[in-house]
Amino acid sequence: MRFLHTMLRVRNLDTAMKFYQDALGLKEVRRIDNEKGKFTLVFLCAPEDVDRLKSQPQTRGAPLVELTYNWDEEKYGEDRHFDGNMAFVRSPDLHSIELLQKGDPKPPAEPWSSMPNTGHW
């Protein structure tokens, strides 16, 4: 089995893109606007995976995050996804995002080290 992508529904595409691109550093690699279905799909990946997508088929290259934005307003619940001893951040759509550090641990740094833990997990 190989991870291909995960889909997350978002309420506000601009806010979600700011979070996933600016805060998490993911890169947009493909976008589909479907006028008939009234939705937008945005596919993002880690910067180091962008070249893998160029050399392989779009759907089989690198692990992707697929943001699904329905143009008509919908209500989504709060999802909670986590396992083990990791770091988590909350997306604008209240998804708990698990962050796993690659390589050796780094010391706590600002702005993260002074932020309080909030919410419920």
What's the average pLDDT block by block, 10 residues per block, for the chain (121 residues)?
75 95 93 94 91 69 84 66 58 75 73 71 48
Q: How far is CA 103 from CA 4, 25, 106, in A?
A: 23, 17, 9
CB 11 within 8 A of CB 92: yes
- Per DSSP (E only), the strands in 1-121 are 5-10, 27-34, 39-45, 64-70, 87-90, 96-99
Q: How far is CA 18 from CA 15, 24, 28, 53, in A?
A: 5, 9, 11, 22
Q: What is the pLDDT of residue 119?
A: 59
Q: What is the pLDDT of residue 103?
A: 72
Neighbours of 1 (CB within 10 A): 3
Identify residue 87 by its one-letter amino acid code: A
Domain ranges of the chain: 5-114
Look up the pTM and report it.
0.67
CATH architecture of 5-114: Roll (3.10)
